[in-house]
Amino acid sequence: MADKVKLLLIDGNSVAFRAFYALYTQMDRFTNSEGLHTNAVFAFNNMLDNIVAQQKPDKILVAFDKSGGTFRTKMFGDYKGQRDAAPSELLEQLPVIKELLDDHGMAHYELQDYEADDIIGTLSREAEKAGWETTIVTGDRDLTQLATDHITVQVTKKGVAELETYTPAHIEDKFGLTPTQIIDMKGLMGDTSDNYPGVTKVGEKTAIKLVTQFGSIEDLYDNLDQLKPSKMKENLVNDEAQARLSKTLATIKVDAPLTIGLDDLHYAGPDIEKLRALYTRLDMRQALAKLPASAQETAVHEAITYTVLDDANLAALLDVHEPAAFEVEMLTENYHTADPIGWFVVTADQAFVSSDVTLLTLPAVQTWLTEAKLAVFDGKRDIVAAARLGVTLPALAFDVLLASYLLNPDQNANDLGQIAQDHGVSVPFDETVYGKGAKRHVPDEVALFTHFVEKGRAILALQPLLTTKLKEQEETHLFTELEMPLAQVLAQMEITGITLERATLKAMGDQWRSTQTVLEEKIYAEAGVKFNLNSPKQLGEVLFEKLNLPVIKKTKTGYSTSVEVLEELKSASPIIQDILDYRQVAKLFSTYVTGLLNAQLADGKIHTRYLQTLTQTGRLSSVDPNLQNIPARDEGKQVRKAFIPSKPGWQIFSSDYSQIELRVLAHISGDANMQEAFKEDRDIHANTAMKIFGLDSPDQVTPDMRRQAKATNFGIVYGISDFGLAKNIGVTRKQAKAFIDGYFEQYPQVHDYMEKMVKVAREQGYVETLMHRHRYLGDIHSRNFNLRSFAERTAMNSPIQGSAADIIKVAMIRMQAMLDENHLHSRMLLQVHDELIFEGPAEEMATLAELVPKVMDSAVSLAVPLKVESHYGPTWFDAK
């Protein structure tokens, strides 16, 4: 038995409309190089792919509305009268969508005087007579009136990705009506978007009730006398003409005079090459990537050849003098511990690969390396991997990862495959070749080496592309003079590592552990029940259900038990303080004792990895372990006593920028008052307190005033809101607003700066730092208040936080040079956003105390001085 013919009918206009708005907030991202928007095309295309994959239709037709009036407008002049014109950004995409359909091999059709609905209605009825199965896809629920046992209507839900399926049974379930009764319902209700009236005061509920009771509008008016006198009955009588007209307008034609028939429908499948050309023209890289490889690309794949290096053929590599892509490959993330699985050198016309990294250590290869001009993807990784073999890499020529990060920090991936794809270069993802999780493995030699060569070629292909883009974005200097050399400095810091005194940390850990156990027992006794204290869920149940403490705040999943909540509950029960204490020691023990002990390597040191391409602002981040969040306050700061110099007689030295972000703000805002405060080295928080509290002398500033002023200073840097500030310092929103108003009055140019950054973000789509680091803020145009507000705060904060990051990065590069030039034994170990931590011989401390602040405060020249404070001692704890 042959399967029935499957027909897919799509309401082109309504789906395009939904598609457009599904990605409306992302419209800026979906634009091709000619400025044509592609958000609707993109979403429409995804919808097509999904529905075709799911339904496997034999025939497809996409129906469109024909511009100009329809028979409905002739019948009712105001039909769709109130509707705003579709936005031009959508209109420009309709012809492209039709082109897309052509290339997909799908028919499309429109008819003068009729809407897409009527085309679909007519064809679906014809298809039913022919014994076909039809699916209708639309964004308009009115079309559900067409549903039968052989015609299913799918209505887009939440954008266009999800469809709700309407069969007669589903309609019965949902409304208690038959599909044709949908028309009667609509007639009574009217339709505001199509601008026809219906009956006064009748909405969906009443309409459904009336249609269920009477069957149809005609039957309703034939039997009006059955209704008891009421306002509703009066309305029905008065609006009878409108109701009947509305029903006619809502009725989809099933006999439109189409100039096509079932025979004209087809679905031949896509023309891949045409689609490729279209996607390329539209810059639709995701769609492009999904297409099967072209004959050309396949040929390239087949053409991959390489030389597997060994002692005998090494000479060929040593002959390479042109620029090359290079990598030492490892399977796992942590390159301090991962085993290398191979390495490659790829030039424009040659490729050398090997699984044997010891070849790198051969003197001939090392000599070759000193002269090599290498392009890499994540060079810091290669530098560390090579260093573990005792091999030093030359200064690297180009790092694809760093370049791509600077071009757009939020579209940055840690995978060459992803980044290449984003720039129109095709190379498999590491995950595809190596697998992930437990399945990750070294593939067979051919697969591995082929991947090496492809990665090498991608790096070479990306280098000129990204170089051009960096230049266009005026980020060349930032790239060549900042991030590239910084990678080298960071690699050195990571390789050096910081020594952890195991016994010290263990002893502290034992103490905390026993405190933890004692508190645990005490809490169970106070609660009268044993439970898992580490589970906020269980703790919440105990506190708020068993002990009936007042609920202060809820999270998405239940009661909040955060510090702020517990602080408020302190007076309600003695158990609270114990829980707070428990939390503190539990955190210290698990993260800072167990965690750090586990991270210590055989050399007795902790080697963190700095992620140079992660944060949105240009800061570094630190992982495995994070050495940028080692406790600095309260009991926790004891942990710092376990961080010691690597050699006897050495000390830990630390310098930090004092209020660097506020100084940056004083500089970039040009605010005279704020600049004066820093030029005269006044206490900035006290200064702010005087300004916002209207005091005449610093003596009048109470500690509490200073505290509030400090919070206000922070708030300003973060892109203030009165609500946020009020919450933070525990004053009313009104008072917080008064603080902010006072602040802006005293620092008027800071106010101007805030407004200017938001304006800049709106106009150019991004904000930038002192050194032209970009941050893109697509959400600045969002219709969603939250997203938009967030983008606005980010616009204010990023240039501040990011410029401070630029400054310390400059300092770090110069610092390394300074240490080298002065032949100091001291070395830089850590960076914690505004501070640098060193170790060195005790005799060098005085030199560091002189030179380190000098390098740091001269890193850039601002309108205000940069202030640096230094300390040193036998442990990190003492270097404060």
Q: Which of residues 613-642 bind DNA (CB under 7 A)?
A: 614-617, 619, 621-626, 628-634, 636-637
Residues in the chain, total: 880
Of the candidates 99, 55, 515, 506, which has an alpha carbon nearest to the alpha carbon of residue 275?
99
Give whichever of 181 and 831 is closer to DNA, judged by the CB atom: 831
Binding flag, residue 14, DNA (CB under 7 A): no
Q: Smallest distance from the beta carbon of 617 to DNA, in angstroms?
A: 5
| List 561, 669, 769, 803, residue binding DNA (CB under 7 A) | 561
Going by C-beta distance under 8 Å and a sequence separation of 6 or more, which residues neighbour residue 573?
Answer: 526, 547, 549
Q: Smallest distance from the beta carbon of 612 to DNA, in angstroms?
A: 11
Binding flag, residue 563, DNA (CB under 7 A): yes
Query: Tokens 């699916």 label which residue?
Result: 135
Going by C-beta distance under 8 Å and a sequence separation of 6 or more, which residues neighbour residue 659?
Answer: 678, 684, 867
- The torsion angles phi and psi of 113, rounded to 5 degrees, stand at 75, -5
| List 725, 815, 819, 851, residue binding DNA (CB under 7 A) | 725
Give whichever of 48 and 576 is closer to DNA, judged by the CB atom: 576
HSE-CB of 73 using CA atoms within 13 angstroms: 12
Question: Distance between CA atoms of 509 and 514, rounded to whole angstroms?
Answer: 9
Binding flag, residue 715, DNA (CB under 7 A): yes
Q: Smallest distance from the beta carbon of 336 to DNA, in angstroms?
A: 12
Give whichever of 457 and 663 is closer to DNA, judged by the CB atom: 663
Is the previous residue joined to 574 through a cis bond, with omega within 30 degrees of 0?
A: no
Element (H, E) at 135: strand 133-138
Give whichever of 726 and 819 is closer to DNA, judged by the CB atom: 726
Q: Smallest distance from the beta carbon of 384 to DNA, in angstroms?
A: 16
Q: Smallest distance from the beta carbon of 722 to DNA, in angstroms?
A: 7
Q: Smallest distance from the beta carbon of 776 to DNA, in angstroms?
A: 12
Q: Which of residues 728-747 bind DNA (CB under 7 A)?
A: 728-729
Torsion angle (degrees, nearest 10) of CA 780, 781, 785, 787: -50
Give whichever of 145 and 561 is closer to DNA, judged by the CB atom: 561
Give whichever of 221 and 714 is closer to DNA, judged by the CB atom: 714
Question: Distance between CA atoms of 324 and 262, rounded to whole angstroms?
Answer: 59
**Strand runs labelled E in 167-209:** none
Give whichever of 479 and 559 is closer to DNA, judged by the CB atom: 559
Q: Smallest distance from the beta carbon of 619 to DNA, in angstroms?
A: 6
| List 201, 301, 546, 727, residue binding DNA (CB under 7 A) | 727
Give whichever of 71 and 524 is closer to DNA, judged by the CB atom: 524
HSE-CB of 130 using CA atoms within 13 angstroms: 16
Q: Which of residues 187-246 bind DNA (CB under 7 A)?
A: none
Q: Smallest distance from the beta carbon of 872 to DNA, in angstroms?
A: 17
| List 205, 228, 231, 556, residue binding DNA (CB under 7 A) | 556
Binding flag, residue 438, DNA (CB under 7 A): no
Stretch that binds DNA, among 482-490, 724-732, 840-848, 854-862 (CB under 7 A): 724-732
Binding flag, residue 435, DNA (CB under 7 A): no
Q: Smallest distance from the beta carbon of 721 to DNA, in angstroms?
A: 3
- The torsion angles phi and psi of 288, rounded to 5 degrees, stand at -60, -40
Stretch that binds DNA, among 44-52, 118-126, 304-312, 562-570 (CB under 7 A): 562-570
Question: Distance between CA atoms of 196 and 778, rounded to whole angstroms?
Answer: 37
Angle CA 605–610–615, to nearest 5: 155
| List 555, 702, 764, 822, residue binding DNA (CB under 7 A) | 555
Question: Distance between CA atoms of 324 and 353, rounded to whole angstroms?
Answer: 12
Of the candidates 262, 267, 251, which has an alpha carbon nearest to the alpha carbon of residue 114?
251
Q: Smallest distance from the beta carbon of 588 to DNA, in angstroms?
A: 7
Q: Smallest distance from the beta carbon of 733 to DNA, in angstroms?
A: 7
Q: Smallest distance from the beta carbon of 638 to DNA, in angstroms?
A: 11
Q: Smallest distance from the beta carbon of 805 to DNA, in angstroms?
A: 10
| List 187, 497, 719, 853, residue binding DNA (CB under 7 A) | 719
- 196, amino acid identity: Y
Is 754 exposed, middle or buried (CB count within 10 Å of its CB: 0-12, 13-18, 19+)? Answer: buried
Q: Which of residues 255-314 bind DNA (CB under 7 A)?
A: none
**Total of residues contacting DNA (CB under 7 A):** 77
Q: Which of residues 780-799 bind DNA (CB under 7 A)?
A: 785-786, 789-790, 793-794, 797-798
Going by C-beta distance under 8 Å and a sequence separation of 6 or more, which residues neighbour residue 4?
Answer: 131, 132, 133
Q: Which of residues 314-353 bind DNA (CB under 7 A)?
A: none
The alpha-carbon radius of gyration of the chain (Å, integer) is 34
Question: Distance between CA atoms of 37 and 15, rounded to whole angstroms?
Answer: 16
Binding flag, residue 524, DNA (CB under 7 A): no
Give whichever of 202 and 660 is closer to DNA, judged by the CB atom: 660
User: Is residue 519 within 8 Å of residue 582, measured between CB atoms?
Assistant: yes
Element (H, E) at 634: none
- The torsion angles phi and psi of 303, rounded to 5 degrees, stand at -80, 0
Give whichever of 278 and 736 is closer to DNA, judged by the CB atom: 736
| List 424, 604, 724, 748, residue binding DNA (CB under 7 A) | 724
Give whichever of 180 and 782 is closer to DNA, judged by the CB atom: 782
Stretch that binds DNA, among 13-21, 338-346, 476-484, 531-539 (CB under 7 A): 531-539
Binding flag, residue 414, DNA (CB under 7 A): no
Binding flag, residue 557, DNA (CB under 7 A): yes
Q: Smallest distance from the beta carbon of 540 to DNA, in angstroms?
A: 7
Q: Smallest distance from the beta carbon of 580 to DNA, in angstroms?
A: 7
Q: Smallest distance from the beta carbon of 28 to DNA, in angstroms?
A: 18
**HEC string for 374-443:** EEECCHHHHHHHHHHCCCCCCCCCEEHHHHHHHHCHHHCCCCHHHHHHHCCCCCCCHHHHHCCHHHCCCC
Residue 477 CB coordination number (10 Å): 11
Q: Which of residues 632-691 bind DNA (CB under 7 A)?
A: 632-634, 636-637, 656
Binding flag, residue 562, DNA (CB under 7 A): yes
Q: Which of residues 581-600 bind DNA (CB under 7 A)?
A: 583-584, 587-588, 590-591, 594-595, 598
Integer CA distances (angstroms), 762 to 668, 782, 784, 791, in order: 19, 10, 15, 10
Question: Distance between CA atoms of 198 and 201, rounded to whole angstroms?
Answer: 9
Q: Which of residues 442-501 bind DNA (CB under 7 A)?
A: none
Give whichever of 38 and 622 is closer to DNA, judged by the CB atom: 622
Q: Smallest distance from the beta carbon of 368 to DNA, in angstroms?
A: 35
DSSP β-bridge partners for residue 752? none
Give whichever of 314 and 576 is closer to DNA, judged by the CB atom: 576
| List 566, 662, 666, 705, residue binding DNA (CB under 7 A) | 566
Give whichever of 213 and 562 is closer to DNA, judged by the CB atom: 562
User: Is residue 538 within 8 Å of residue 531, measured between CB atoms?
Assistant: yes
| List 212, 226, 514, 534, residue binding DNA (CB under 7 A) | 534
Tokens coding 704 = 């509490």
Q: Smallest distance from the beta carbon of 834 to DNA, in angstroms?
A: 4
Is 74 exposed, middle or buried (CB count within 10 Å of its CB: 0-12, 13-18, 19+)? Answer: exposed
HSE-CB of 768 using CA atoms within 13 angstroms: 15
Q: Which of residues 803-862 bind DNA (CB under 7 A)?
A: 832-835
